Structure 1
Amino acid sequence: MWTPNDGNNIEERGRVNNGSDLVVMDERAIAAAMPVPNVATLNVTKSSKVHIGPKFVSVTQNVQNAEMVKELPLPRYLWNVVKNSSRTERLVCAAALIVLIVCITLIVHFTVQSTKSGSGGDRPPHEWNITREMWLAQSFNSTDIHEKFEPLMLVIVQHTVSGECTKFAQCAAELRTMQGWYIALHHYDIPYNFIIGNDGRVYEGRGWNKEGAHTFGYNRCSVGIGFVGDYRGERPHHTQVTDKQLNRTRMLLEDGVRMGYLRPDYLIVGAKDIQDTASPGSNLLQALYLFNNYDHKQRFRGLNCTQIQEKFGDQPLQI
């Protein structure tokens, strides 16, 4: 016989053979009667449902796959990469490696060479006589000296009032800058026939038998020589004249006589000797006094080229 139990569960009462009472309850009644365990934290592995006590509880789980990564030595790791790559990939990597090695080798080579060049001293293409091609001058048209003034009897020395240069590379760069300035501003070539660097070398400007632009009124009948630097001794920072510069200047003028561009009795002067100017500076002018061919009498002052030729062209110049 079934009787209701406090309105929620149903009990079935009967009597068994031994005379005791038997209570039969269904599964829902059993579940309601048993206490539910309090679970705060639950670790679930590979399951979407968990049976907790009399209930089935749906559990949402976050699955994290943790893989153990074992560190390999670099050579073995590279070998594994190579072993697992295709033949084309290996060839590409080999080519890239060869290119990288070649690049590194070239960089090291040129760095060493540059260091040797910088520490090995100055190595110009000629010991002292530097042509326009050697200092990379721009090509520019110049006017030849008129034949009526040949061979020339007058050498005029100026100073450039520019930065000093003590090595070939520096002097060549200084001359290129100077030439570029004259071309851009005045539209003519570097004004001197020859330039004497602070390294003691002679640099070809316009060269022999070319009309210069160094001394107004005398360019058609003279050779102009410019000394790099500022030789005004009265200034706090001035350039010193060296014996090497003077000796190379003498060698240049001897070549001019030998090649027929200068008269054997030519005279050398500073620009200050023939016109109102501070050039070539007191230091350089005093050094010119020691030249055997220096014109102490200043016989050309106030004369133009035609007058000089008419007055001294047919007679020897007395030193």
Structure 2
Amino acid sequence: MTSSPLQVVIHHSAGATCSTQSTCSAQVRNIQSYHMDGRGYSDIGYNFLVGNDGNVYEGRGWDRRGAHALNVNSESIGICFMGDFTGQKPTAAAIAAAKSLISCGVSLGKIRSAYSLYGHRDVGSTACPGNLLYDDVKSWGRYVRNRPMGVVGWG
């Protein structure tokens, strides 16, 4: 990628929640297998994943285009919370880790400082990232309810 993305898209895996480093590492491998074997992706679709243990796990990382949100992959970083957050919120540690990751990305120049934040449902027809995580994301600052069409973030 030649330029930093202008958008951050928050997801949830809608699968099992993990709360220890060993269970979260196993969950990352499960998601990667599903994406590669079940969906035919070249790798895990998300740039990063966050566990309820409060750790961030690298998917595609900062410098590879994600495969997480159709039509915005080329202009966004995808962060997936591992678990189903329709009826429960992620832990405070997980939310803090995601916010810290975004701040780190801005500091490293991997995310533009004027980035916009979206829930996956704001950029696609889905219930992702689950109602309770989505409600929390809307309070993070930089949240934009509807993605303006035609905005390109990679420059």
**Shared fold (TM-score greater than 0.5)?**
yes
Partner of 1:204: 58
1:28-67 correspondence to structure 2 within 5 Å: none
Deviation per CA, 1:105-147, whole angstroms, max 9, x where unpaired? xxxxxxxxxxxxxxxxxxxxxxxxxxxxxxxxxxxxxxxx3x2
Structure 1 Cα separation of the partners of residues 83 and 30 of structure 2 = 14
Structure 2 Cα separation of the partners of residues 313 and 219 of structure 1 = 10
Partner of 2:74: 220
Contact 1:165-1:228 at 8 Å conserved across structures: yes
Q: Give 2:114's match in structure 1, choosing from 259, 265, 290.
A: 265
Unaligned runs of 5+ in 2: none
The Cα of 1:187 is off from its aligned counterpart by 2.8
Deviation per CA, 1:82-111, whole angstroms, max 9, x where unpaired? xxxxxxxxxxxxxxxxxxxxxxxxxxxxxx
**What SS is found at the alignment partner of 1:215?**
coil
Partner of 1:280: 129
Partner of 1:175: 28
Unaligned runs of 5+ in 1: 1-144, 234-238, 315-319
Structure 2 Cα separation of the partners of residues 270 and 284 of structure 1 = 9
Partner of 1:23: none
Partner of 1:5: none
Deviation per CA, 1:178-225, whole angstroms, max 9, x where unpaired? 212222122321110000111111111100021111111111110001
**4+ residue runs over 4 A deviation:** none
**What SS is found at the alignment partner of 2:79?**
strand
Distance 1:165 1:313, change over 3 A: closer
Partner of 1:111: none
Contact 2:75-2:154 at 8 Å conserved across structures: no
Structure 2 Cα separation of the partners of residues 193 and 184 of structure 1 = 18
**What SS is found at the alignment partner of 2:112?**
strand
The Cα of 1:313 is off from its aligned counterpart by 7.7
1:20-31 correspondence to structure 2 within 5 Å: none
Contact 1:232-1:281 at 8 Å conserved across structures: yes
Contact 1:182-1:190 at 8 Å conserved across structures: yes
Structure 2 Cα separation of the partners of residues 287 and 185 of structure 1 = 30
Q: For 1:151, give the aligned amino acid.
A: S
Q: For 1:191, give the aligned amino acid.
A: G
Contact 2:72-2:123 at 8 Å conserved across structures: no
**What SS is found at the alignment partner of 2:31?**
helix
Q: RMSD of the alignment, in Å?
A: 1.7
Structure 1 Cα separation of the partners of residues 96 and 122 of structure 2 = 22
Structure 2 Cα separation of the partners of residues 281 and 181 of structure 1 = 20
Contact 1:161-1:229 at 8 Å conserved across structures: yes
The Cα of 1:258 is off from its aligned counterpart by 1.1
Partner of 1:255: 104
**What SS is found at the alignment partner of 2:127?**
coil
Partner of 2:94: 245
Q: For 1:161, give the aligned amino acid.
A: A
Structure 1 Cα separation of the partners of residues 14 and 39 of structure 2 = 17
Contact 1:194-1:204 at 8 Å conserved across structures: yes
Q: For 1:308, give the aligned amino acid.
A: V
The Cα of 1:172 is off from its aligned counterpart by 0.5
Contact 1:231-1:241 at 8 Å conserved across structures: yes
Partner of 1:308: 151
Q: Which has the larger radius of gyration?
A: 1
Contact 1:241-1:287 at 8 Å conserved across structures: no
In the alignment, structure 1 residue 192 sits paired with structure 2 residue 54: no
Q: For 2:28, give the aligned amino acid.
A: L
Partner of 1:162: 15
Please, what TM-score do these two structures have when normalized by structure 1? 0.46
Please, what TM-score do these two structures have when normalized by structure 2? 0.92
